[in-house]
Structure 1
Amino acid sequence: MGLRELWKRSDSPELGGPAIHIGSRHLRVGGGVCQTLAVIGYPREVSAGWAEPLLSYPGQLDIAFHLDPVPAPTAAVQLRRRRARLESAQRTDLVRGRVEDPHQTAAALDAAEIADRIATGQGRLFRVGVYITVHAPTLELLDGHLQQVRALCSSLLMDVTPTVFRTLQGWISTLPLGTDPVGTVRSMDTDAVAGMLPFSSPELVADLSETTVVYGTNTHSSGLVAWDRFCAGLDNHNSVILARSGAGKSYLAKLEVVRSLMVGVEVTVIDPEGEYTRLAEAVGGTVLRPGAAGQPGLNPFSLPAAAQDGQGFTHRALFLHTLIGAMVGDLSTTDRTVLDRAIVTAYAQAGITRDPATWDRPAPVLADLAAVVEELATAPDTEQDLAHAAQGLAGRLEPFAQGSHADLFTGPSTSVVGGHLTVVSLRELPDQVRPVGVLVALDAIWRHVTAGTEARPRIVVVDEAWLLLQDPAAARYLARLAKAGRKHWVGLTVITQDVGDVLGSELGKVVIANAATQVLLKQAPQTLDAVQAAFRLSEGEAHLVGTAPRGSALLVAGHQRVGFHPVASAEEHRLITSDPAELAAMRAQKHSGPQDHGHCTDGSEGGEVA
C-alpha cells in the first residue's frame, strides 16, 4: 500500500481521525483546504521586523522557519567554492567584453564578507527553509487568500512557489514537528537569520544592546515589543508609567525590574506599600525597612569617603538643612543660623571637621544635634534672638530626636544601598514622617549612584511617586535625579496613579519632560484630556489609553508609538503578582505542602502568563 492510499484511508475505524485527501496543489484536511508556499527568494537588505506583516495577516497562516546550522569547516569550503565560481564568472565576462552583472558583483562581495565574519567568529552559517501554509474553508476562498499572500510576499521582495506534487510534505513542514521533508533551503549568516525572524515590532526603531528587555506582545500583531532604555539614540534613560488605580502599572514595573536584573542592570526601588519585598527576597536582594523596630537604619549624618566627594562635609550640612526643614516645617533665617551652628558643633563633638582625614570617624546622630540645639538655647553667651530661635527649634525636633518618631534616627548607618536589587520599603513609616523617610532614602540612593565605585547601568524605581511630589523637598530630589541621572548611567522610573497631581505640579512636569520613555496604561476620563495634551497623543491614541483593557499600554518614545500587553512566565507571575486571591492561594499551598492544584490565571493582574 502506497503513502497516498494510507492517508486516504486514514478515516477507517482502525486508524481513526479524519481523512487527508492529497491533491497536486492542495490538501483537504480538518474540514478545510490548504496549500503550502515555499520561499525561494529574499531581499538583499532588510531592517528589524521587516517580516512583521506576515504575522499580522488577517487570514489563517502557518509559518515555519527551519534553521540548520552549518559546521564552520563545511561553511568555509562552501563559501570558498561559491566565491571561486562568482569571481571566475566575473573574469570570463570581462575577457569576453560583456557588461558587468551587478547582481553577480553583489553576490561576490556578500560571499567574501560572510567568509570573513565566519573566519573571525563573528557569525555562523545556516541553511534556512521558510514555508507558509494558507488555510481556507473552500477552494474558492483559498484561491483568494493565496493571491493576497503572494502579493504580500511580493511587497516584501520575497519570491514564493507552491509545493506542487509535494503538498503533503509541504504541510508537514509547517507542523510543529521540526522536520523539513521539502528541503527548499538557502544559506544565510547569523545577522540575516536574526533580521528575518519577525520577533520585534517595526514601530520601535532604536540601537538595541545587551540591556534590552522584552515588555510584551504587540497589541496589533503577534510580534514582541523589545525596548532598551539605555540605548544611545535616546536623550536619557528615564521612564514614566502613568495609569489609573488597578490598571496594572505595578505589575508592568515589577516585570521590567525582573528582566532588567537578568541583563545585569542594578535596580533600587522606593516602595511605599511593601509590594516589592517578596520579589527582592526571592532573587537575593536587600530589603531596607526604615522605621521598623529592630531594622537597620540610614543615618543622614554619615559622611562619604574623601575620594568620592571632596566637598562631602559641605554637602552633608546643606542636605541636613533640607532634611530638618522637611521635618519641622519652614525655617526662618534665624532658625537656619542656629541650625548651621548646631550642625558644625555636633560634628566637632564627634571629632569630625572639614578635614577629610576625620570623616571616617563615627558620625553623630539626630539626638546629638538636638542636644546641641538645646545647649545653644540655654548658653549664656548666645544672642537673645538666636536663643529664642534655638528654643523653638529644639521643641520641634523633640519628636524626631527622642519622641515617637525617633526610630528613624536613633542609631548609626547599618544599611548599605547597593547590590543587584535594593528595596527601600516605607510601609512601616507613619504617614506623618513618610516624606522624611523618602527624603533620607533618596539621599542614600543618590549618594550611591554618584559615588562612581562601579560603572554599570542602574535603574531607580519610585512607586506611587505622587506621594513624593506632594513634598517640595522630595520633589526637588526627584527632579534632580531625572535631570542628572544620565551622567551617571542611571535611569529613573516614576510610577504614579494620580496623573492630575503630577501634571499639575511644576516639578512633576519636569520629571515627565525628562523621561525619554513614557508608558501610558488606562487613564481615568477626568484626566484623559490632560494626558492627551501633555503627551501630544492623537485622537486614536487617546481613545486607546482611555479604553485599554487591564494591562494593555501605549509606549511612547518621541515620535515612536506602539501598543503592547505584558507577558510574564509562570515563575515571573508568581513573583510579581499582587492579586490578594492569588497571594492567599500561594500562602495556603505553601503551608499545606508542595501539591499541584492546577493553578492558572487569566492575566487579571495586568499581564498574560506564558
Structure 2
Amino acid sequence: MRTTSNAFAPDAISIHPRALEVGGEWVASFAVTGYPREVHPGWLQPLLTYPGRVDVSLHIEPIDPVTAAGRLKKQLSKLESGRRHTSEKGRLIDPQVEAATEDAYDLAARVARGEGKLYRFGLYLTVHAPTEEALGDEVAAIRSLAASLLLDCKPTTYRSVQGWITSLPMGLDLVGMRRTFDTSALSAAFPFTSPDLPPPDPTSVGAPSGVLYGFNIGSQGLVHHDRFALDNHNSVILGRSGAGKSYLVKLELLRSLYRGVEVFAIDPEDEYARLAAAVGGTHVRLGAEQVRFNPMDLPIHTRTDGRRTAPRDALVRRSLFLHTVISVLLGSELEATERAALDRAITATYQRAGINSDARTWTRPAPLLADLASVLTEIDVELAARLQPYVTGAFSSLFSGATTTRPEGHLVVFSLRDLADELKPIGTLLTLDAVWRQVSNPAIRKRRMVVVDEAWLLMKEHAGAEFLFRMAKASRKHWAGLTVATQDTADVLGSDLGKAVVANAATQILLRQAPQAIDEITRTFDLSMGERQFLLSADRGQGLLSTGTQRVAFQSIASPTEHHLVTSNPAELAENPAESRETESAFVELDLA
C-alpha cells in the first residue's frame, strides 16, 4: 500500500503564502465567495473550457428540511431587522440588502411548499502553471474570467495546502467557504450541464442535422436545430422592429433550401426579391398588372401522371372559405341573416356556372367575384352594395379576372408591397389559400415551409386569424411547417387565436422586445428575470430559441454571400444600387381549361 500511494504522491511540496510548488509545477487555489443572483444551465462552462489547466471542484452537502427552515427563518429575521433599522434612521436603502431579502423570502416559500431543497455548496479553483511567472499570468486570466461570470474569487492565503487538497478528488473540504444553493441553482451548476441544444440522437457521431441559426452566447458553440424532428414543424418569431426578425427568417429560408425543403413566403415589403432571383425562385407581385386571384377557384390538384383530382368535399370547403373571404373584405363578422343570404348566393353562383355537387363539373371555369355580387343583388341588396368596391370599384383589380398565377417551384415569394393597405389582409389570405392547395396535395409528399412575414396584417382580422390557426393545426399532417413572424406582439398575444397559434409552434424564437410588450411576453413564455432583461437589452440578431424543454440564447450569423442576399439595411443596399434594383417577377400561367 505504501508503494502504491507513493506512486501518486509528489516528490516534494514547497509551501508559499498564496501558492504551492508541487513536484515540478506551481499551483494556486481560490475559493468562490460571491455568486451572480441568477444562474443558467451550463454557467460553469467557460471555466471548464478554459484553455489552460484549471481544476474546478464542487462540494455539495444536503441540508435537512428542519435545519433549512430554521436557518432561513433566522436569516430573514436578520435581514428584516436591518431593513427596519435603516428605515427608522432615515438612511438610504441598500439595494443589495433589498435583493437579498426578496431572494430569501422567495427561497423560504419554495422550501415550505416542497418545490426544492437547500444544499451547502462550495466552489474551488486550482490553477496550474510550469513556473511561478507563468502562474501569475494564469491567475490573472482566471480571475478576469471569473469576474466576467460575476464570481468573486478569494485566494486561500496561508491556506494554500488546504486549498490544493480541497480541489483534489478526495471529497475533503478543508477550506469550508460554502454558500447555500437551492435545487434549481445546484442543478444548473452540474459540471456536465451544457447550454447547447441536445442532438436528436445523442448516440450519433455524424454532423448535426437541421439549420444553423448562429452561435450560442453562453458556450460559443454552434446552434443547430431541426424543426422537422419535433412533434410539429411550426415556428413563431416575435421581435420588435429592427431586431433582425426578417433577417433571421430569410437566413433560415435560404439554409432550408440547401436541405431540399420547398419554401413559400408571403413578403409584405418586397424584401425577398433578391433572394428569389439568386436561387431561381418564382416572384409573384400582387397588385401588378395582369396579376389576378379568383377566390372562387375550386382546389383542384394535378397528379404526377397529369390527371386532375379534388377532395370529395371540395365545393363545400370552397363555400366555407368564401365566407372567410367576404368577412375579411368587409372588415367585420357577418350577421346570421347575412351568412344565410351569402350561402344561398354562393350556391346559386356555382350552379349558374354549371358547377354542382357532381365532381365531374368541378373542372369547369369557376365564376368570378363579380358573378357572386350579381347574384347577391337579387338576394341581399345591402350586402351586394358593400362588395361593390371590390367588384367594380377601386379595389377590384385583384379579383377582376381568372387566376393568372400558380405557386410552383422550390421557392415561391408573394410580394404584397404593391397592394393597397386595405387589400393586404385579403391578399395574405388568398396567397395562403393558394399555398395550402400545394401543401395539401396528396399526390406530392415533400418537406415544405410556409413563411408569413408580418403576420399581424392577417391576425388583426378575426377571420384571417382563424384561417391561420387552422393552417397551423393541420400543416404537420402534410409534412409542412408554418413560420409566423411579426413585430406587433400585442395583436398576436392579445387574442385567444393568436395564443393558440403560438402554442401550436414547437419552435419559438424571441428577439429583442419593446418595454411595452415585455410583460405579456414574460407571462406567455414564463421567462425568468434574467431572460426578460436579456430580451430588453439584446443586440440585433440576438434572441432566445425555445424548443419546448430547452431554451438557448443565440446570435445569428451569416456568411458574406448570405448577408448580401438577406439584408434589408438601406445603407448597405445604397452602396450597390444596381444589385438592389427590383427583380422582374416570374409568373406561371394557370391553365383552367
* 2:49 equivalent among 40, 57, 70: 57
**2:207 counterpart of 1:215:** no
The SS at the match of 1:492 is strand
The answer to whether the aligner puts 1:241 opposite 2:237 as a matched pair is yes
Per the alignment, residue 337 of structure 1 pairs with: 340
| 1:516 and 2:519 matched | no
CA contact (8 A) 2:573 2:580 kept: no
Is 1:261 matched up with 2:257?
yes
Counterpart among 566, 572, 577 of residue 556 in structure 2: 566
**Secondary structure of the equivalent of 1:230?**
helix
Which amino acid in the other structure matches residue 439 of structure 1? L
Alignment check: 8 A CA contact 1:522 1:550 kept: yes
1:409 pairs with one of 385, 399, 402: 399
How many positions carry a matched residue from both structures? Answer: 413
- Measured in 2, the distance between the counterparts of 1:482 and 1:137 equals 63
Question: Could you tell me the percent identity over the aligned residues?
Answer: 49
- Structure 1 residues 437 and 590, CA gap change in structure 2 (3 angstroms): closer
Find the aligned partners of 2:495 and 2:130 in 1 and give their Cα distance. 56
SS at match of 2:551: strand
Counterparts of 1:567 and 1:524, CA distance in 2: 23
CA contact (8 A) 2:292 2:397 kept: no
Letter in 2 for 1:333: A
Q: Which residue of 1 aligns with 2:289?
A: 293
- Distance in 1 of aligned mates of 2:297 and 2:405: 13
Residue by residue, what CA displacement relative to the aligned partner does 1:304-345 show, whole Å, maximum 9, x if unpaired?
247341110111111112212222344333333332232222
Matched residue of 1:568: which SS? coil
Pairwise mapping of residues 171-250 of structure 1 onto structure 2 (< 5 A)? 203-207=196-200, 212-231=210-229, 234-250=230-246
Contact 1:301–1:320 under 8 Å retained in 2: no
C-alpha deviations, 1:475-519, integer Å up to 9, x for none?
001111122211111111111111122211111111111111111
The alignment status of 1:399 with 2:389, answered yes or no, reads: yes
Partner residue of 2:453?
463
Q: Partner letter of residue 436 of structure 1?
A: I
Q: State the SS of the aligned residue for 2:481.
A: strand
Pick from 360, 367, 370: which aligns with 1:367?
Answer: 370
Q: Secondary structure of the equivalent of 1:479?
A: helix
- Alpha carbons of structure 1 residues 290 and 135: separation in structure 2 relative to 1, 3 Å: farther
Deviation string, structure 1 residues 237-268 (Cα, Å, up to 9, x no partner): 11111111111111111100000010011111
One of 346, 359, 372 as aligned partner of 1:356: 359
Corresponding residue of 2:322: 320
Equivalent pair of 1:554/1:564 in contact (CA under 8 Å): yes
The structure 2 residue matched to 1:272, chosen from 264, 268, 293, is 268
Question: Residues 408 and 135 (structure 1 numbering): CA distance in 2 closer, same or farther, change over 3 Å?
Answer: farther
Query: Which residue is 1:140 aligned to?
Result: 135
2:473 and 2:497 map into 1 onto residues whose CA distance is 11
Paired letter, 2:498: G
* Residue equivalent to 1:284: 280
Q: Give the SS at the match of 2:227.
A: coil
Runs of 4+ in 1 over 3 A off after TM superposition: 52-61, 134-138, 141-148, 208-211, 296-300, 305-308, 588-591
Contact 1:439 1:473 in 2 (8 A): no
* Unaligned segments of structure 1, at least 5 residues: 1-24, 27-49, 62-133, 156-200, 378-385, 592-610
Q: Quick check: 2:298–2:314 contact (8 Å CA) kept in 1?
A: no
The structure-2 alpha-carbon separation of the partners of 1:488 and 1:249, relative to structure 1 and needing over 3 Å to count, comes to same
Aligned mates of 1:294, 1:274 — CA distance in 2: 18
Q: Distance in 2 between matches of 1:273 and 1:334?
A: 38
How far residue 137 of structure 1 moved from its aligned partner, in angstroms, is 11
Whether contact under 8 Å (1:212, 1:228) holds in the other structure is yes
Aligned residue identity for 1:224: L
Tell me the distance in 2 between the aligned counterparts of 1:361 and 1:536: 53
Q: 1:227 to 1:528 in 2, by over 3 A?
A: same
Shift of 1:60: 7.1
Structure 2 match to 1:37: none
Q: Which residue of 2 aligns with 1:498?
A: 488
CA gap of 1:211–1:341, structure 2 versus 1, over 3 A, is farther
The alpha-carbon distance between structure 1 residues 53 and 330, as it changes in their structure 2 partners (threshold 3 A), is closer
Q: Which amino acid aligns with 1:227?
A: H
Structure 2 residue 467 is matched with structure 1 residue 473: no
Alpha-carbon distance between aligned partners in 2 of 1:577 and 1:56, rounded to the nearest angstrom: 37
Asked whether the 8 Å contact 1:55–1:221 carries over to 2, the reply is no
Q: Find the partner of 1:434 among 407, 424, 439.
A: 424
User: Deviation of residue 225 (structure 1)?
Assistant: 0.5
Q: Which one of 308, 311, 317 corresponds to residue 309 of structure 1?
A: 311
Paired with 1:472 and 1:404, the residues of 2 have a C-alpha distance of 24
Partner of 2:162: none
2: CA distance between counterparts of 1:147 and 1:316? Answer: 67
User: Post-superposition shift, 1:202?
Assistant: 5.5
Deviation per residue, 1:214-251 (Å, 9 max, x gap): 001111233110000011xx231111111111111111
RMSD of aligned alpha carbons: 3.4
Q: Which amino acid aligns with 2:134?
A: L
The SS at the match of 1:494 is strand
Q: Give the structure-2-normalised TM-score.
A: 0.64
Aligned to 1:584: 574
Contact 2:276 2:282 survives alignment (8 Å): yes
* Residue of structure 1 in register with 2:17 after alignment: none
The answer as to whether partners of 1:288 and 1:296 remain within 8 angstroms in 2 is no
Distance of 1:256 and 1:512 partners within structure 2: 19
Q: Is the 8 A contact 1:210 1:263 kept in 2?
A: no
Structure 2 match to 1:100: none
Give structure 2 stretches of 5+ with no counterpart: 1-23, 26-41, 54-128, 144-164, 170-193, 202-206, 302-307, 582-593
Aligned residues of 2:240 and 2:513 also touching (Cα < 8 A): yes
SS at match of 1:244: coil
AA aligned to 1:526 is Q
Q: Does 1:551 align with 2:551?
A: no
Superposed displacement of residue 559, structure 1:
2.3
Amino acid at match of 1:282: A
Question: Is contact 1:271–1:426 with CA below 8 Å preserved after alignment?
Answer: yes
Equivalences for residues 109-120 of structure 1 within 5 A: none
SS in 2 for 1:408: coil
In structure 2, C-alpha distance between the alignment counterparts of 1:241 and 1:256, rounded to whole Å:
12
Amino acid at match of 1:203: D
Change (3 A) 1:466 1:473: same
* Counterpart secondary structure, 2:388: helix
Instruction: Assess if the C-alpha contact under 8 Å between 1:267 and 1:461 holds in 2.
Output: yes
Q: Is the 1:303–1:359 contact (alpha carbons within 8 Å) kept by the matching residues of 2?
A: no
Instruction: Select which of 422, 434, 442 maps to 1:452.
Output: 442
How far apart, in 2, do the equivalents of 1:481 and 1:147 lie?
A: 52
Looking at structure 2, the residues matched to 413 and 357 of structure 1 have their Cα atoms a distance apart, in angstroms, of 21
Counterpart residue type for residue 235 of structure 1: D
